[in-house]
Amino acid sequence: MTFTVTHDPANHAACLTHVGGVDAAEIKASRIELKDVANAHSVRGAIIDIMDASIEADPVDIIENVQELVDDLLPGTKLGFVGRAEDQETVSMIVATVAHSLGSRVGQFHDRDKALCWIRLDWKAAAACDCLPITE
C-alpha cells in the first residue's frame, strides 16, 4: 500500500495522497486513517488526492468506502477530491455522487492547492481566490 495521510494545520485539512495502483484494501485502510486524522484535529475538510494514482478497485468498493467515510467524518466536514481530468469522469464522479447523496459537501479539483484553499476559506473568499471546485 502506498498512501500517506497528513494533517495540514495551515489549511485546517486532513490530506490523503495515493500513489500507484490502489486496490479495495488500500481504499479501506486509507479511509480509516483519513477519518482518524480528520476527526482527531477537527478539520474543516479532508482531501483525497489521486493525481499520481491508478484506481484498480471496483466501483462498488469505492461507493462503500465513500459512504463509510462520510458517515465517520464530523458533521460539516468538506470533502475535496483531487484527480486528473480523466479520473473526474469516473472515480471522482462516483465519490461526488455518493457524498452528495449523503448530504456531504464535496468538491472536485484538478489542483491540490485550490482544493486546500476551498477547504480553508468560506465560499465568497474561495470564489475571490478562484478556488472553487470544478463541480460541487
Give residue 104's pLDDT: 64
122 alpha-carbon distance from chain centroid: 18
pLDDT confidence of residue 65: 87
- Phi and psi for 22 in degrees, rounded to 5? -125, 115
Domain architecture of the chain: domains with CATH = 3-128 (3.30.750.24)
**pLDDT (0 to 100) of residue 52:** 93
- pLDDT above 70 covers what percent of the chain? 85
Query: How far apart are alpha carbons 108 and 50 in whole angstroms?
Result: 11
Distance in angstroms between the alpha carbons of the first and the last residue of the chain: 29
The more confidently predicted of residues 102 and 5 is 5
pLDDT score, position 90: 66
> CA angle, corner 20, sides to 86 and 115, nearest 5?
55
pLDDT in tens, 60-106: 888 888 888 888 999 999 999 898 877 656 666 676 666 666 556 78
Give the chain's radius of gyration (CA, Å).
Answer: 13
